[in-house]
Amino acid sequence: MTEMVHGTVPAQAGDPVLPKWWRTVDKWTLSAILMLFGIGLLLGLAASPPLAARNGLASFHYVERQIFFGGLAILTMLVVSMLSPNLVRRLAVLGFIAAFISLILLPFFGTDFGKGAVRWYSFGFASVQPSEFLKPAFVVLAAWLMAASQEVGGPPGKMASFVLVCIIVGLLAIQPDFGQAALTMFAWGVMYFVAGAPILLLVVIAAGVVSFGLLAYNSSEHFARRIDGFLNPEVDPRTQLGYATNAIQEGGFFGVGVGEGQVKWSLPDAHTDFIIAVAAEEYGLILVLLVLALYGTVVMRSLFRLMRERDPFIRLAGTGLACMFGVQAMINMGVAVRLLPAKGMTLPFVSYGGSSLIAGGIAVGMLLAFTRKRPQGEMADIFQRRGH
């Protein structure tokens, strides 16, 4: 508790791994993630039994799976957070290659599970969504390329990362998965901006994104249907958005009571994409505000710690991971309250889903590794030296 109040202590050479990790890791971020996972289990107990009953499974089948995958995700997060930034970068490059190849092969060997988008590999006992693992690996790889381009005589890393993100967005659009494509492009854009991109170039890229959106609307029935549903002022009460909107309104400030919510009986995705609607109905605005505060804690704590970081690679990678984590949560909750079109995106560490939980554990583990306190001069020291 002392470290949470007074800050962390820089690691010293030769320290044992676990004590060094405990002294240097951001305990506020770690605590927020554990609390989000706990809230996810609490909501899973409410949201998943109706789905299990419809599928002829044991009442807590999905809760048990969430505990298993969530425990694996937390363990992965802790292990990754103990790694050095250089080792994280190397593993991320290897992970990116594997996820990228999986994404290319997805149209040939993947499945859509009847949802109209080929995003998963099905192995019978479990399914894997390659894009979930591609995102954090790409952020680290793109940060490395951008940081390398800032060195004297360095490679054209910014251009290489731009070409790479365009290819990834194209592959995701084929599925189609425009939500993940937009999130990946956003994370790249944040890093590109932090790396010193000119405003004019960012405006040109933004115009290109808008043009791509118009093209997708005119060529993809899946995309157009979701946009039309979002723009329609009347919400069909028999749709998922209609059920979610009604549930949020019914919940009010304190909720209707634990186990008393009705939306979980109507929403097929109550335990994944619309888990926040279950939270709002049964526990009210109080729990929703707590969830928002926890996501805000992770993002803001990480960004404040990264502001003191000297290494451009760590600063870029950490910023991309933190912003991607926060925006994914914002998209999920924004869809539930009709601020954004339906995206089919999970709420990190709260929604059910093996791929999203484990990939989230990897991403946050990387973020914790990048934001650990290291024995180095801070950014302010550099400016002070330049002033003398």
SS3 track for the chain: CHHHHHCCCCCCCCCCHHHHHHHHCCHHHHHHHHHHHHHHHHHHHHHHHHHHHHCCCCCCHHHHHHHHHHHHHHHHHHHHHCCCHHHHHHHHHHHHHHHHHHHHHHHHHCECCCCCCCCEEECCCCEECHHHHHHHHHHHHHHHHHHHHCCCCCCCHHHHHHHHHHHHHHHHHHCCCHHHHHHHHHHHHHHHHHCCCCHHHHHHHHHHHHHHHHHHHHHCHHHHHHHHHHHCCCCCCCCHHHHHHHHHHHHCCCCCCCCCCCHHHCCCCCCCCCHHHHHHHHHHHHHHHHHHHHHHHHHHHHHHHHCCCCCHHHHHHHHHHHHHHHHHHHHHHHHHCCCCCCCCCCCCCCCCCHHHHHHHHHHHHHHHHHCCCCCCCCHHHHHHHHHC
**Residue 382 pLDDT grade (very low, low, confident, very high; cuts 50, 70, 90):** very low
pLDDT tens digits along 206-249: 787 778 778 777 776 766 766 766 666 666 556 667 777 777 88
Angle between helices 354-370 and 130-149 (to 10 degrees): 20
Q: What does pTM read for this prediction?
A: 0.86
pLDDT for the residue numbered 15: 66
| Domain count along the chain | 1
**Residue 349 pLDDT grade (very low, low, confident, very high; cuts 50, 70, 90):** very high
Tell me whether residue 119 is in a domain: yes
**Residue 123 pLDDT grade (very low, low, confident, very high; cuts 50, 70, 90):** confident
Using the predicted structure, report yes or no on whether residue 371 has a pLDDT greater than 50: yes
Query: Domain range holding 27?
Result: 2-378
CA-to-CA distance for 309 and 17, rounded, in angstroms? 21
Percent of the residues in the chain that have a pLDDT greater than 70, as a whole number: 86
Tell me whether residue 293 is in a domain: yes
Question: Is the distance from CB of 303 to CB of 375 less than 8 angstroms?
Answer: no
Using the predicted structure, report yes or no on whether residue 301 has a pLDDT greater than 50: yes
Tell me whether residue 353 is in a domain: yes
CA-to-CA distance for 96 and 137, rounded, in angstroms? 5
Q: What is the mean pLDDT of the chain?
A: 83
Tell me whether residue 67 is in a domain: yes
Q: What are phi and psi of 215, to 5 degrees?
A: -65, -45
Q: What residue type is assigned to position 115 of the chain?
A: K
What six digits make up the tokens of 229?
Answer: 């549903």
pLDDT for the residue numbered 199: 76
CB proximity list for 244: less than 8 A, separation 6 or greater: 263, 267, 274, 277, 336
Region 329-342: mean pLDDT is 83
pLDDT tens digits along 258-283: 777 777 777 776 677 788 888 888 88
Region 292-319: mean pLDDT is 93
Tell me whether residue 387 is in a domain: no
CB proximity list for 20: less than 8 A, separation 6 or greater: 11, 12
pLDDT for the residue numbered 348: 92
Question: Is the distance from CB of 180 to CB of 173 less than 8 angstroms?
Answer: no
pLDDT for the residue numbered 48: 80
Using the predicted structure, report yes or no on whether residue 333 has a pLDDT greater than 60: yes
Tell me whether residue 383 is in a domain: no
Angle between helices 354-370 and 275-306 (to 10 degrees): 20
More confident residue, 114 or 14: 114
Q: Beta partners for 127?
A: 122
pLDDT for the residue numbered 385: 47
CA-to-CA distance for 106 and 127, rounded, in angstroms? 12
pLDDT for the residue numbered 327: 93
Using the predicted structure, report yes or no on whether residue 6 has a pLDDT greater than 50: no
pLDDT for the residue numbered 184: 92
Region 98-108: mean pLDDT is 91
Tell me whether residue 386 is in a domain: no
Question: Is the distance from CB of 134 to CB of 146 less than 8 angstroms?
Answer: no
**Residue 19 pLDDT grade (very low, low, confident, very high; cuts 50, 70, 90):** confident
Q: What are phi and psi of 122, to 5 degrees?
A: -100, 130
What six digits make up the tokens of 376?
Answer: 């180095």
**Residue 1 pLDDT grade (very low, low, confident, very high; cuts 50, 70, 90):** very low
pLDDT for the residue numbered 14: 56
More confident residue, 36 or 218: 36
More confident residue, 182 or 56: 182
Tell me whether residue 42 is in a domain: yes
Using the predicted structure, report yes or no on whether residue 257 has a pLDDT greater than 50: yes
pLDDT for the residue numbered 234: 65
**Residue 306 pLDDT grade (very low, low, confident, very high; cuts 50, 70, 90):** very high
Using the predicted structure, report yes or no on whether residue 388 has a pLDDT greater than 80: no
Question: Is the distance from CB of 59 to CB of 264 less than 8 angstroms?
Answer: no
pLDDT for the residue numbered 55: 78
pLDDT for the residue numbered 376: 57
CA-to-CA distance for 380 and 14, rounded, in angstroms? 27
Using the predicted structure, report yes or no on whether residue 324 has a pLDDT greater than 80: yes
